[in-house]
Structure 1
């Protein structure tokens, strides 16, 4: 039976990957509407022929990798279950009668190491691809260092979460999801609070903005927006990427407005001020707190669905999946598979909400800085730096785009200019 399930899973993955290949590489979706050709939103206007070619080629490969990566991970987790590898990892634990956290740490190390090794070729291909197309500037040693740091940060966090999770499942196999959700709320907020000061600096160096004249202008915008901030941070990303970015992270006293040094090096002062006004728009609109509330609600629904699905799947197919009971640590790959699947299928909704918030932040920035030309040129530069599609296919937009497409963003600003004229 397990062999039959394995062959079926491989065939389904193959058919899905083939379908996505034809959709992304050979469908006619996307492109520039006839009415917008030759306008400031048309990449043929602001990108060179080589940039256009690389953008189209790079975007298609990236999109295809995105759509096959998650199902490929599900496939690996599925095979870890049906081949008995997960059960074997649990049997190999040398600390059977010791504290649960140590037993879980050994199991999770074995599982995490296996997933890291199996998925490494895909991650390395993504890194090589980004390097080949001139997006990444990071050397291999630095890239590996980031991967190792990420492995251990995720491992340490997961050991704590999984230990508490399976303790709750042992306490109540029916209501564990509700108790887990209640505990995850303060834990998630705590992680958001410490991320800017403890986790992010593990990967990059953050320091106050060195251009004090620019900082004064940014703080002046913040004052207009009634934002109580005294400092803007920059981060050294030029040694890793040519892409541009700025963002707001953290909550409360640990919140930060951060500019990549690539953004500082490539954009004009007016373009940087527009980006900062956009980030301030998120603060003014309280998007961080709406995001936290949405995350908490999503966790509640996700944990409830996961609990229902795990019980039903184990009851019906536990023998094939080599799962004896839900409260055994070897059931974890099923938990990870279900939660990953739910996150993937719910991403169009979360992306839709995010795009709405980004549109609001764009509108706020346009009104605050009153410089639509800088807004247009900013979006154009962001497109060129990331070799982005300005109008991706519909499925790509639904599943990948947490921001409006550049076609939508540039067109909106161009319409604002038209109204003024």
Structure 2
């Protein structure tokens, strides 16, 4: 592998991904702005002009923020790689830690220093999104104290969970021979499965309060639905999402004995019992069609290919030099390789994302069809209308932007498909 060729390939993907994203965002912005002055006819009965324009303003603000965020992220990526930022950080950390603490401590310290600097760079953007964009549009309900507390808890959880698996992978890279990547992948899969089990029990409660669903009428209705669908969960819980945001949602979480159904309190405050049942039936549709399992298996296969590729790249000096780093001569390069791989992968995966978006939209149609069969299609449509309005989701997205970025079908397409499937009259608005 030639270092210059790798540099040029990497630079191409970085520039191409940024320009493509900016072009798509510009298309989306123009399309939303051009259609903000009139509610689409199909939605005129359920969505006011004020709600439609509020959604347009929210969408345009998020696009403008995305423009800044993407530009900053690209500049930081180039700074870490081609401009030698990671190489400089490596020299500093290596001189301070290698002789005193040993190779493993040096590699963990390098990873920690990189994450710390990256986090500090991202922090102003995260704060701006929360306290400027979300707050301006009435979604943010956090104060600075809660927000900073969440940031600190996220760091602590990341260190407590991330440091052991990182140390294990680094040890395998140095001790397991040429097939280290296969062992490391196995460790990663085991860690991911463990995380699915412990997340609802120990991690999520650090950030939100979960209480059993107290509405017995709704609980009975939900239990009957789950029995009809052959789904078992260890509890129905309400999460205090309203403490942080006005956005509403419901989801399944956990694996095995930790599996549970979680409703945002904001969702229960906005939807009728029938609408909540229909939303849950949609989620059960993902379970029935094994979408979660399929995505998990896909993720594991992709991660296996990624580890195999990394196993080969770590033996190529040009991999380091082409991305702006001189490999260590008297210290392990495993942490450097992991960091470079993490930095180089996103610009390439950006162009693979539309494939995953396509299959995700297909899954949503299947889950909607299942919900219409198990519950009321009319209630599901009404729930979607309310959620689109309350979340200020635009009803007029650019079609190409949708095909590239949207994991869910746009409102018009989704409701049209439901109307065709549901035996009950379903409004043609979403």
TM-score tier by shorter-chain length is 0.7 to 0.9
Tell me what 2:58 maps to: 58
Moved more, 170-179 or 45-54: 170-179
Q: 1:262 to 1:209 in 2, by over 3 A?
A: same
The partner residue of 1:147 within 139, 142, 151 is 151
**SS where residue 351 of structure 2 aligns?**
helix
**SS where residue 51 of structure 2 aligns?**
helix
How far residue 343 of structure 1 moved from its aligned partner, in angstroms, is 4.2
**Is 2:199 the counterpart of 1:195?**
yes
**SS where residue 175 of structure 1 aligns?**
helix
**Is 2:253 the counterpart of 1:252?**
no
Q: 1:333 to 1:76 in 2, by over 3 A?
A: farther
Tell me what 2:240 maps to: 236
Q: 1:298 to 1:72 in 2, by over 3 A?
A: farther
The partner residue of 1:291 within 286, 289, 295 is 295
Tell me what 1:24 maps to: 28
Distance 2:322 2:366 in 1: 51
**SS where residue 41 of structure 2 aligns?**
coil
Distance 1:330 1:53 in 2: 48
The partner residue of 2:420 within 404, 415, 419 is 415
Tell me what 1:380 maps to: 385
Tell me what 1:261 maps to: 265
Task: List aligned pairs for 1:69-108, cutoff 5 A.
Answer: 69=69, 72-81=72-81, 82-83=84-85, 84-94=87-97, 96-98=99-101, 100-108=103-111
**Is 2:162 the counterpart of 1:158?**
yes
Task: List aligned pairs for 1:10-21, cutoff 5 A.
Answer: 19-20=23-24
Tell me what 1:318 maps to: 321
How far residue 339 of structure 1 moved from its aligned partner, in angstroms, is 3.3
**SS where residue 214 of structure 2 aligns?**
coil
In the alignment, is the contact (CA less than 8 A) between 1:29 and 1:394 conserved in 2? no
The partner residue of 2:346 within 336, 340, 348 is 340
In the alignment, is the contact (CA less than 8 A) between 1:30 and 1:391 conserved in 2? no
Moved more, 12-21 or 268-277: 12-21
Q: CA RMSD in A?
A: 3.4
Distance 1:398 1:68 in 2: 23
In the alignment, is the contact (CA less than 8 A) between 2:47 and 2:389 conserved in 1? yes
In the alignment, is the contact (CA less than 8 A) between 2:55 and 2:394 conserved in 1? yes
**TM-score, length of structure 1 as denominator length:** 0.85
**TM-score, length of structure 2 as denominator length:** 0.84
Q: 1:373 to 1:15 in 2, by over 3 A?
A: closer
The partner residue of 1:357 within 328, 343, 363 is 363
1:377-397: CA deviation from partner (whole Å, max 9, x where unpaired): 111111011111234224532
**SS where residue 252 of structure 2 aligns?**
strand
1:146-203: CA deviation from partner (whole Å, max 9, x where unpaired): 1222222223333233323332332467533333212212111111111111111111
In the alignment, is the contact (CA less than 8 A) between 1:20 and 1:67 conserved in 2? no
Unpaired runs of at least 5, structure 2:
none
Distance 1:395 1:305 in 2: 31
Unpaired runs of at least 5, structure 1:
none
**Is 2:215 the counterpart of 1:218?**
no
Q: How many residues align?
A: 411
In the alignment, is the contact (CA less than 8 A) between 1:247 and 1:279 conserved in 2? yes
Q: 1:293 to 1:21 in 2, by over 3 A?
A: closer
